[in-house]
A and B are shown apart, each in its own frame.
Chain A
Amino acid sequence: MNQMPDVEQLANQEYKAGFVTDIEADDVPAGLDESTIRLISAKKNEPAFLLQWRLKAFRQWLTMKEPHWPNVKYPPIDYQDIIYYSAPKAQTGPKSLADVDPRLLETYERLGIPLRERELLAGVAVDAVFDSVSVATTFKEQLEKVGVIFCSFSEAVQQHPALVEQYLGSVVPYSDNFFASLNSAVFTDGSFCYVPKGVRCPMELSTYFRINAAKTGQFERTLIIADEGAYVSYLEGCTAPIRDENQLHAAVVELVALEGAQIKYSTVQNWYPGDKEGRGGIYNFVTKRGKCAGRRSKISWTQVETGSAITWKYPSCILMGDDSVGEFHSVALTANYQQADTGTKMIHIGKNTKSTIVSKGISAGHGQNTYRGLVKIGKAAAGARNYSQCDSLLLGDKCGAHTFPYIEVANSTAQMEHEASTSKIGEDQVFYFQQRGISAEDAVSMIVNGFCKEVFNELPMEFAVEAQKLLSISLEGSVG
């Protein structure tokens, strides 16, 4: 008489950010060799040190092989078929909002990004990266008053070359890994932030990344430096239009926290995940790493990953300073044919360093969700502590959850805790909700949100709401 709530048939999600903005772009031809890099560097009027750094990275990259140890499958990527630079035309650099192409602003409006100053109340300063260049940075003046530098990477290269030269590659060297080296060679823009000594950044900083043009790779680079005693909370959001082909996103994020500094980095990643049959979608191969360089510094990563065809990223913390703290809170959702191999690395080097890992993986449809994490306690890291918790939630019986925790301990005074659980949303649970008047869809959404609560609590308020909405959308049609 009534339909089985088909918990197995998952995620006919509609991707709400999947429109294309019709804007003329200044592309360089597809393909990659040293001349491409020189061209990008010249277009951006870069100082010599940067070009040299790019070329070193490129030469290194040529000797490297694409890694295949992640638990993901995809056809080979043709690196010569990618456009490495695509900028909306007539957009040579960040300008005031009035100068920005209204169609771009409209795009951001459709994405619900508080780009315009009238969103002042939201208290979020936004740097928006459209394909490869940074479009506009809001709130710059207010930030300048307290000495916070928040601008596009290109602008930082022009205005603050010394800071860039000092810190670029100091956490993720150009030789770090295949995708990081590629990024180092060809990155076109991104965000830069420097919070001076003792300054608490007065607002949340935010970057929105959007891939618009076809066949474009997005290789942005973010560098955040919190000087001694500084505090900054940084939000990152990502979307892309619906396209049949896969698009590569190989970003690098570097965080540096000096003594007593704190960086909170939150991501809500909603790249196009591909359609129900697994066609299209973004390959999100990203290197994110933070260095707690000074004593008592703290870096927290919080991520909600609902998008991308394939996600491959491990936001990590190098805990160098004594008493420094690293945190990783993650929700990763894989529906349809999405694959995620994500987790973190906590490298304990200093004494009494502490790290916390809370990973929540949700698999639905044919989604494959892998947690991969490394906790490494160095010889000198006396009194180091780690707490790890990895929970997996399965919806249906065609998806998978995998956990690969690596633990390496070289100091016997370290304390390690690891908890893991796997659960499944049962039809009997869904029926229990229905019997109390709650629809099956709301039931799944409530269970999933309950499962993720610990992580959502770490997100700034507006982002937590957005994350909940995203999860609900991503799970739409998950029950018949």
Chain B
Amino acid sequence: MQKGKQAADMLEIKNLHAQVGDNEILKGVDLTVRAGEVHAIMGPNGSGKSTLAHVLAGRPGYNVTAGTVLYQGQDLLAMAPEVRAREGVFLAFQYPVEIPGVSNLYFLRAAVNAIHKHRNEPEVDAFDFLALAKERAKLVELDDELMRRPVNEGFSGGEKKRNEIFQMAVLAPRLAILDETDSGLDIDALRIVASGVNRLRSPERAIVVVTHYQRLLDYIVPDFVHVLVDGQVALSGSKELALELESRGYTWLEREPARQAVS
């Protein structure tokens, strides 16, 4: 832990409880993610997958009631959402919102500069930024016109998801959480998005893929698979676990008691 602060433990979640309104959704999640790894979080609807993603990103209204989350050895939960982002936590949204009047490029440049400022680095020059954006856009085959349009406005479902991965490619986060990035994608779009993500895999970066279906994991092959059931990690395993879930469904897990009891 001491030694591996940077390389080893990117994210260490312990006994995480969280509620939305009066509903407790996360009931003691434990999870450790190391740099370079790709983790898939699966589970039935309502098991808390997306809640976990939003809690990690610091979404207002998602209140942590117990537990700890260390990110690169720091208390993630003590950080404001924008500080988490500047520290390298990225959430690809399941439903990216539209921001009328603010162009995609302008938005993203403001984001890059916020991160630079946080690191006491100089602001990025407009021309350099444009070159970077154009190069990264190729990863997900996002064309120029979409980069210049207001953020997500009038984008198709697939374009929105590609835009999320494009943003990830530009912002180069340390920990990327992809929340149901496959939902609403046809097979071609899925391939494009997945190949973009795969090219962003690196030894310094951890990726957490939240998904309901195994399908995405054919393209983004995870190192670990965790199954979330009723707000807890019910089962963890290798990528074969995803295939097992595909054939057996989730119901058999729901009937079994959770793997580990929480004190």
Assess whether A1 is in contact with B77, with CB atoms less than 8 Å apart: yes
Assess whether B111 is in contact with A438, with CB atoms less than 8 Å apart: yes
Flag whether B257 is at the interface (Cβ < 8 A): no
Assess whether A2 is in contact with B150, with CB atoms less than 8 Å apart: no
Complexed CA–CA distance, A440 and B58 (Å): 13
* Nearest B residue (CB) for A426: B97
Chain A residues near B63 (CB-CB < 8 A) = 1
Q: Which of chain A's residues 414-458 have a Cβ closer than 8 Å to chain B? A: 423, 426-429, 431-440, 442, 446-447, 449-451, 453
CB proximity of B67 to chain A, nearest CB, Å: 11
Pick the residue among A4, A437, A440, A450 that contacts B111 (CB under 8 A). A437
Chain B residues near A431 (CB-CB < 8 A) = 59-60, 81
Chain A residues near B111 (CB-CB < 8 A) = 433, 436-438
Complexed CA–CA distance, A436 and B176 (Å): 12
Assess whether A442 is in contact with B97, with CB atoms less than 8 Å apart: no
Assess whether B81 is in contact with A432, with CB atoms less than 8 Å apart: no
Chain B residues near A63 (CB-CB < 8 A) = none
Pick the residue among B58, B78, B80, B171 that contacts A436 (CB under 8 A). B171
Assess whether B60 is in contact with A437, with CB atoms less than 8 Å apart: no
* Chain B count of residues within 8 A CB distance of the other chain: 36
Flag whether A280 is at the interface (Cβ < 8 A): no
Complexed CA–CA distance, A320 and B101 (Å): 36
Chain B residues near A423 (CB-CB < 8 A) = 100
Q: Which of chain B's residues 127-181 have a Cβ closer than 8 Å to chain A? A: 150-151, 167, 171
Residue picked from A433, A440, A449, A453, most chain B C-beta under 10 Å: A433
Q: A4-B60, A435-B91 are in contact. Are A440 and B82 (CB under 8 A)?
A: yes
* B87-116 vs A, Cβ < 8 Å mask (1 yes, 0 no): 000110100110111100011101100110
Q: Which of chain A's residues 143-188 have a Cβ closer than 8 Å to chain B? A: none
Assess whether A2 is in contact with B97, with CB atoms less than 8 Å apart: no
Complexed CA–CA distance, A447 and B153 (Å): 13
Assess whether A446 is in contact with B60, with CB atoms less than 8 Å apart: no
Residue picked from A1, A428, A432, A453, most chain B C-beta under 10 Å: A1
Pick the residue among B118, B150, B167 that contacts A450 (CB under 8 A). B150
CB proximity of B26 to chain A, nearest CB, Å: 13
Flag whether B13 is at the interface (Cβ < 8 A): no
Complexed CA–CA distance, A423 and B97 (Å): 13
Flag whether B122 is at the interface (Cβ < 8 A): no
CB proximity of A113 to chain B, nearest CB, Å: 29
Flag whether B57 is at the interface (Cβ < 8 A): yes
CB proximity of A111 to chain B, nearest CB, Å: 29
Assess whether B99 is in contact with A453, with CB atoms less than 8 Å apart: no
Complexed CA–CA distance, A453 and B101 (Å): 8
Complexed CA–CA distance, A435 and B63 (Å): 17
The binding surface of chain A is classed by DSSP as: helix
Flag whether B86 is at the interface (Cβ < 8 A): yes
Flag whether B253 is at the interface (Cβ < 8 A): no
Taking beta carbons and an 8 Å cutoff, which residues of A are in contact with B? 1-5, 423, 426-429, 431-440, 442, 446-447, 449-451, 453
Flag whether B21 is at the interface (Cβ < 8 A): no
* Nearest A residue (CB) for B61: A4
Assess whether A446 is in contact with B57, with CB atoms less than 8 Å apart: no
Residue picked from A3, A431, A435, A437, most chain B C-beta under 10 Å: A437
Residue picked from A2, A5, A427, A431, most chain B C-beta under 10 Å: A2
Assess whether B110 is in contact with A438, with CB atoms less than 8 Å apart: yes
* Cβ-closest 6 pairs across A and B: A450-B101, A436-B111, A437-B114, A437-B85, A434-B81, A4-B60
Complexed CA–CA distance, A319 and B260 (Å): 79
A-B contact count (CB 8 A): 89
Flag whether B31 is at the interface (Cβ < 8 A): no
Pick the residue among A2, A433, A436, A447 that contacts B60 (CB under 8 A). A2
* Nearest B residue (CB) for A442: B110
Pick the residue among B58, B80, B97, B102 that contacts A428 (CB under 8 A). B97
Pick the residue among A3, A432, A439, A440 that contacts B97 (CB under 8 A). A432
Complexed CA–CA distance, A202 and B80 (Å): 51
CB proximity of A336 to chain B, nearest CB, Å: 24
* Nearest A residue (CB) for B75: A1
Pick the residue among A3, A436, A450 that contacts B100 (CB under 8 A). A450
Chain A residues near B108 (CB-CB < 8 A) = 436
Flag whether B235 is at the interface (Cβ < 8 A): no
Pick the residue among B101, B115, B118 that contacts A447 (CB under 8 A). B101
Known: A4-B60, A4-B61. 6 other contacts (CB 8 A): A2-B58, A2-B80, A435-B58, A435-B82, A440-B82, A451-B101
Flag whether B192 is at the interface (Cβ < 8 A): no
Chain A residues near B82 (CB-CB < 8 A) = 433-435, 437-440
Chain A residues near B58 (CB-CB < 8 A) = 1-2, 434-435
CB proximity of B172 to chain A, nearest CB, Å: 12
Chain B residues near A449 (CB-CB < 8 A) = 101
Chain A residues near B101 (CB-CB < 8 A) = 447, 449-451, 453
Complexed CA–CA distance, A1 and B115 (Å): 22
Chain A residues near B106 (CB-CB < 8 A) = 446
* B44-60 vs A, Cβ < 8 Å mask (1 yes, 0 no): 00000000000001111
Complexed CA–CA distance, A451 and B101 (Å): 5
Assess whether B115 is in contact with A437, with CB atoms less than 8 Å apart: yes
Q: A2-B81, A438-B110, A438-B114 are in contact. Are A427 and B102 (CB under 8 A)?
A: no
Flag whether B64 is at the interface (Cβ < 8 A): yes
Complexed CA–CA distance, A170 and B16 (Å): 74
CB proximity of B125 to chain A, nearest CB, Å: 18
Complexed CA–CA distance, A423 and B61 (Å): 22
Complexed CA–CA distance, A20 and B198 (Å): 63
Complexed CA–CA distance, A451 and B100 (Å): 7
